[in-house]
Amino acid sequence: MHGQKRIMVTGGTGFLGSFLCERLLREGNDVLAVDNYYTGSRDNVLHLLDDPRFEILRHDITFPLYVEVDEIYNLACPASPVHYQIDPVQTVKTNVHGAINMLGLAKRTKAKIFQASTSEVYGDPVVHPQPEEYRGSVNPIGPRACYDEGKRCAETLFFDYHRQYGVEIRVARIFNTYGPRMQTNDGRVVSNFIVQALRNEPITIFGNGTQTRSFCYVDDLIEGFIRLMAAPAGVTGPINLGNPGEFQVRELAEMVIEMTGSKSSIVYKPLPIDDPTQRKPDISRAKQDLGWQPTVNLREGLDKTIAYFEWKLSGRARSVSGVRSPETAYTPQPAPAVGLPVQQAVSIGP
C-alpha cells in the first residue's frame, strides 16, 4: 500500500497505546506493539491479533531494542500515581533510560519519534490555563517527582537528541484522558468514579472537590497524536493535547452518579501530597499548528466509558453508539505481512 510505514508503539497494549495501534493499522501500516505488561494488557489488543500487519513484543524499554522502523511512538510508562508510585525508581528508569534507548533507535534507523509527555510537567501550576511556555511548579523530591521529573528529563533528552544529532522529534503534553480500556483499579478519577458508582459504593473525592481537571476523550487524543506526527518537521512541540473544558472534581462525581443511576454517596478524604489544584490546557498552539481541537464533550464521552465499564464488570453492556467489546471493535485489513525484524535485546544493566 502506498505510504505504508513500519511503526513501533511502546506501551502498545495499554489504554492509549491499544487505540493508537488500532488507528495506525486502519491506515494500512505495519505496527509493532512493545510492552512489558506492567500496566498494559494483552486483552486490549486481542482483537488485533488476526491482522497480519500487527505484532506484539514483550519487552521493557529500559533495555535496548533493535528493530527496523520508520516511526516510533514512545508511550511506555505507568501514568497513574497508584502504579508509578509503587516502584518510583523504575518509573524514573522507564522515563529516562527508556527515552535514551528509543532515541538511540531513532538515531540509528533515522526514524521519526514521538514522545508522550504529560501535563504533570507543569506540576501544581500558578499559571492558568497552562501554555507550553509555562515552565511549571514541580516538587523535585516529592512522591510524584518520579513521574513529573522523569517526563521533564525525557523532554530534555528529546530536544538534545534533536539539536545534537538531528533526530526528528515530536513531543505532546497529554492532559487527563479517559475512555474505554481504562483499568478498573488504576486510581484515575474518571475510572474510579464510574466503577464506584456502578458498584453503588461511596465515591471517594480527595480534597474538598473544588479542584479542577480537564477531560479529553481518547478518540480526540489519538487524532491529536496522528496530526502531530504528520506535521512538518519544524513542528517539534511540545504541544498541549487535552480538552480545555474545565470541571470541578465534585461536578464530575455528581455527573457520574446521575448518568449511572447510582445510589452512591460522596465521601471526602485528604488531598495527596503535591496533587495539583487546577489543570486546564491552553491548546492555541495545537489549533494553529495541527488544526486540532477536541470534538467529544464530557457527557458524550462518559456515556461511552460507562457502557464499557458496565460490560467489563458484568458482561452486559448497554447498547451505545461506538462502544463495543474490545474483541469486536476492529476489523483486520486483508494485506500481506511485511514484518519488522527483531534482534535479541542486549542488557545495559540497572
Range of the domain at 231: 6-177+217-243+279-295
User: What is the tens place of the pLDDT at every residue in 287-316?
Assistant: 999 999 999 999 999 999 999 999 999 865
Would residue 311 count as lying in a domain?
no
Would residue 204 count as lying in a domain?
no
Question: What's this model's pTM, rounded to 2 decimal places?
Answer: 0.88
Average pLDDT over residues 245-262: 96
Would residue 346 count as lying in a domain?
no
User: What is the tens place of the pLDDT at every residue in 142-168?
Assistant: 998 898 999 999 999 999 999 999 999
Would residue 131 count as lying in a domain?
yes
Would residue 301 count as lying in a domain?
no
Active site includes 178? no
Would residue 171 count as lying in a domain?
yes
Would residue 252 count as lying in a domain?
no
CATH of the domain at 130: 3.40.50.720
User: What is the tens place of the pLDDT at every residue in 193-215?
Assistant: 999 999 999 999 999 999 999 99
Q: How many domains does the chain have?
A: 1
Residue 286 CA, chain-centre distance (Å), reads: 17
Would residue 157 count as lying in a domain?
yes
| Annotated catalytic residue within 73, 122, 147, 330 | 147
